[in-house]
Structure 1
Amino acid sequence: MSPKRIAILGSGIFAKEAHLPAVAALHSNGTVELIAIYSRSEASAADLANAAKDKLNLSNPPEIYFDAAPNNNLDALLAKPDIDGVIVALPITVQPSIVRKALAAGKHVLSEKPVAPDVAGGIALINDYEKQYKSKGLVWRVAENWEVEPGYHAAAKAIRDGKIGKVAFFNARVVNYMAKDNKWYNTPWRTVPDYQGGFLLDGGVHTIAALRITLPSPLSTLSAFASLSQPHLKPQDTINAIVSTSDGAHGLIELTWGAPVPSRVEQAHSGITITGTEGWINIENTALSNGTRGIRVSVYTVTKDEKGRDVGESKEVVEEESVGVNVEVARFVEAIDGKDDGYGKGVDALKDVAFIEAALNSNGKPVDLLKLIEF
C-alpha cells in the first residue's frame, strides 16, 4: 500500500500539539507523507512546517500555503494532484466552507469537531456530502477524538457485558477554570467567539460524544439552563441539564468553563458515573499508574452467594492511555483505502452539537433531541 499524501489546513495549537504527532507516527511506518501546510498567515504556516520538518525528520519542510500568496494560497494547495487528503483544523465557523471546498477539489477530508457551528449548518453540510461527494468515493470524517478513545470503549464493553446490569441513571461533570492567560483562551477566534456557546460548543461536544459511546441508548430529551459566570467567556460558559435516554435511563450533565478559581476544578471530581441495577462505573480522565495521561475505568459489580443474595461487591480497573487523535488520523487513512470502521460520521457528530444547542436554548423547557436532528 502506497503512503497517503496529506496536507494540514490550520497551524494552531491543536494542529501542532495533536495532529502533527499523529501524522508523524504514521509517517514513521510509511503510511503517510505530509506534503503541505496551509494557514491564513505565512508566519504560522512556516512555523508548523518547520516543526514538521523536525518531528518527521524530513530533509526539507513541507510546502507552505497562505492567503497573501496568489500562487500559493488554499486554492493552489487544493489544486495539487499529489495530495490525497486534508486534515482541517481551522476556526469553527470557517470549517464547513473549507470542507466543501476540499471535497469539491476531490480531496478526502478529516475535519475537526464540531461538525458545524449549529445543527442547521451541520445538516446542510451532511446533505451536501451525501448527495454530491460520497458516491464519488470521497471520505469525509469528523475528528471527534473522544469518540474513539479506548477508555470509553472499555466502559461501553463493560456495560454490554452486563457487569452493571441495566443502566438506570448517570452523571457527567466537567468543571474547567479558563484564565485570561490560558493558551486556549488566547486563540484569537476563541477570544471573541462568533458561534453559539463559546467553549461549551468547542469543548462540550467531547463529553457528549463520550456519553454517546458509553451509554447503551441515545440521549433523547433534555431540560436545561445555560448561563454566563465569567464575563470574558461570552456568550455562555455553563450548562446544567437533566436528560433522559431512549431506553428510560436518566441523568445529570454539568458542563462549565466558568469556575472562579482553580480549586473549584481540583475538587470537582469531574468525570462520568454510570449506575446500573447490578453495579456502577466510574470514568476519569486522569494520570494513570504508568505516569501517562489517560482514562481510568473502574467497574463495581454486585457479588452474590449461591442463593443469589447480595454479599458484597467486586472491583475491576481498566486503564487506557489517551490516544484518540492518533487513532482518528490512522483510521481516516484506512478509510481512504476502503476500511471504514463506522466512526467519524457527520450524523453522529451532529448529535453532539444538537445537545449543546438544545441546552443553550432550553431555558428549562423539554427539548426532543432526536427530533432536532431529523433531516
Structure 2
Amino acid sequence: MDKRPNYEQFEKEIYQLWEDSGYFNPDNLPGERKESYTILIPPPNASGKMHTGNILMIAIEDLLIRWKRMQGYATLYVPGTDHAGFETQITFERKLKEKGKSRLDYDRKTLYNMIWDFVQENKHMIENQIKSMGASVDWSRYTFMLDDKVIEIVTNTFKKMHQDGLVYRGDYMVNYCPQCGTTFADLEVVHEERTDPLYYIRYPLLERSDDDPEYLTVATVRPEPIFIDTHLAIHPNDPKRKHLEGRKVENPLTGAEMPIIADEFVDPEFGTGIVKLTPAHDPNDYAVAQKHGLPIISAIELNGTIRNIPEAGELKGLSVKEAREKSVEILKSKGLLDEEQTDLKYEHSVSVCYKAGHDIEPTVLP
C-alpha cells in the first residue's frame, strides 16, 4: 500500500463500483421488495456550487435511503438540478460586470447561449459534487428542470388548466423591476426607508367662482407620471373638501381636464387631503380606478424609460429619475410648484427587488 494513498482516487473507484452494481436503481435490487421508498433531491440551483444546506440535506437523505435499502425497501433516490431562472441571471450578470460588460451588450440569442453554457458548466460541477459525496442516486433518472420532458409536462399542465377554466389571463398590478426585466412576488420585495422630496404641486381649478381658490395643491413624491393622470381624489366625508367632488382641475403638465372623485381610501390628514391618481403605477390607485371605471394608462416602458406618447412631451425617453427632475423643472417654470411647502426630507418606504436592490416599478401587465 502506498505510504501516501490517493484517497480521492479511491473514492472515485469505489463510487464507480457502486454505480456499476446497478443497485442505485430499484429495479436491479436483489430479493423481493414489495414496499418502495423514494426521495427526490430538492434540485440545487445551477447558478454556482452547492451550498452547505444542499450538502447537508443530501447527506441526510442518502442516510435514509441507505437505511431503507438495508431494510428491504425498493429505494429510489432521484437526482436533479434546477436552472434557477432569475437567480442565475443575477449571478451571471455579476460576472459580466466584473469584465466591464452588461447583458445589454449582447443580442437575445447570444445572451441566452452564454447563460446556457454557464448553467451547463455549473450543472456538471454539481453532478460531480453529488458523486463525490457518495450519494446513492439513480443517475438513469437524472432530471434537469429545462429538459424537454419537463417543459412538455409543464406546458401540457397549463394548457389543460386553461381548457378547464382553472386559470385565465388578465391585467394585474405586478412588482416589476425595469433593471432586472422581471416581476417579483410580494415576498420577494424589500421595503427600504428613504428620504425624498415631497413636492406640493398646484392644479389650476376650472370654472371658478369668486370664492374659489385659483389652485388646488397636491403633495406627491412622484411628479414624473402626472402627464398620464386623469383624476384627483378626496375623501367623501372630508368636511373641508367634499364640496370639490365633481369639480375639475387642469393637469399641470398637459393642460387636460381632470375631474375630482371621492373615495374612502384617501387620507384627509396626508399632505393636502387631495391625491392624484396614477392607476398604472400605484396599487391603491389601481384599486380605485377599477372601482370607479377610470382609465389605466402606463407612463413607463418596460425598460424603465418614459413612454413615447404625445402627452409625455419633453419627458419622452427619459429615465424615471431624469423625468422626475425634468417635470419639477417644467412645473417651476409654469409657477405650478409650491416650493415653500415642498418637504425636501420626506421619509417614506420604497420597494426594491430583493436580489439586486433596484427600485420596483408597480406596473399593470397582462
* TM-score normalised over the length of structure 2: 0.26
Rg larger in structure:
2
User: Which structure: greater strand fraction?
Assistant: 1
* TM-score normalised over the length of structure 1: 0.25
